[in-house]
């Protein structure tokens, strides 16, 4: 089953390639089931973002429409991530990866940086994922990719539950953090400008769905109250896509704990909106 936004069966003619990575082997979350997200997101995308009138099927497009060619690569194993992403970016296509636990992002970021050099990482998450005392799991992603990013032009958005070790690392490496309280105070337009002024040339976006408040995205592996609204996050993602992105991942959707598939459907809509803005 392909995501509903896929509009070509040809990898060669695609501008954007969607890849599912159904793996949660590096997660320590009490909630299990993020490995089911790629299938569920595609399924709900097909059910809720398409309309049937007799034998005709149409898609509920974003208002801007979709002009890019989208290819759904299907699912891959964790040990295929580096090779697959390398192939996608070597052909100058944009990967959109669906996980799975957030540690998958580490291999994606490393693969893309080998093509483009140090990346401006825009990291949407309730957690900084900046643990350095333990490596190679979903809580150490930001530390694990330090050699692959440009710290000066990278930024974390939505952080609201850091551990003491992570606060120390944020201060040590002088990482800029935009909290939900910052966005509430400054407004979305000022926040957009703050982010854009920070970024360099090659921008990579990593989205942990727990950055969004559980009121909008209940089906995540580690929900945290006081999060961002779904419109705020999607607005910022669209702005980043319009600027130009080298890739995007969307991680930590946990269908087992969702409510009527609201989170999976939100992911589908986010992907559609990002694609509609991508340049």
Which residues are annotated binding-site positions? Answer: 102, 125, 127, 129, 208, 210
Taking residue 221's Cβ as centre, other Cβ atoms within 10 Å add up to 26
Count of residues for the chain?
A: 279
| Distance from C-alpha of 173 to C-alpha of 166, rounded to nearest angstrom | 10
3-state SS string for 216-257 = CCCCECCCCCCCECHHHHHHHHHHHHHHCCCEEEEECECHHH
Which 8-state DSSP code applies to residue 211?
G
Q: What is residue 215's three-state secondary structure?
A: coil
**Which residue positions form the known binding site for Mn(2+)?**
102, 125, 127, 129, 208, 210
CB 240 within 8 A of CB 122: yes
Relative to beta strand 56-59, strand 50-53 is antiparallel
Q: Tokens in use for 101?
A: 């636990």
Token pair of 111 as six digits:
């693969």
Pairing of strands 155-157, 120-124: parallel
Six token digits for residue 132: 């350095």
The residues facing 228 across adjacent strands are: 212
């Amino acid at each position: 089953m392909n995501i509903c936004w896929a509009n070509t069966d040809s990898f060669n003619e695609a501008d954007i390639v969607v890849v599912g990575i159904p793996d949660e082997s590096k997660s320590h979350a009490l909630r299990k089931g993020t490995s089911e997200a790629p299938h569920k997101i595609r399924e709900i995308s097909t059910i809720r973002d398409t309309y049937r009138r007799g034998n005709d099927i149409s898609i509920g497009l974003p208002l801007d429409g979709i002009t890019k060619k989208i290819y759904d690569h299907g699912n891959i194993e964790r040990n295929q991530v580096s090779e697959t992403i390398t192939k996608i970016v070597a052909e100058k296509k944009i990967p959109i990866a669906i996980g799975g636990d957030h540690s998958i992002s580490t291999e994606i970021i490393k693969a893309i940086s080998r093509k483009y050099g140090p990346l401006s990482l825009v990291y949407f998450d309730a957690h900084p994922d900046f643990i350095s005392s333990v490596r190679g799991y979903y809580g150490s992603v930001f530390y694990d990719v330090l050699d692959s990013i440009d710290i000066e032009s990278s930024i974390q958005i939505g952080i609201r539950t850091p551990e003491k070790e992570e606060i120390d690392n944020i201060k040590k490496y002088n990482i800029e953090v935009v909290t939900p309280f910052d966005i509430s105070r400054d407004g979305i337009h000022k926040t957009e400008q703050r982010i854009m002024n920070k970024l360099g040339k090659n921008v990579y976006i990593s989205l942990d769905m727990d950055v969004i408040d559980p009121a909008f995205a209940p089906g995540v592996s580690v929900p945290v109250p006081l999060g961002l609204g779904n419109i705020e996050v999607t607005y910022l993602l669209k702005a980043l896509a319009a600027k130009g992105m080298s890739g995007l991942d969307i991680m930590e959707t946990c269908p087992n704990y969702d409510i009527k598939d609201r989170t999976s459907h939100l992911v589908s809509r986010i992907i559609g909106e990002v694609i509609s803005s991508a340049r």
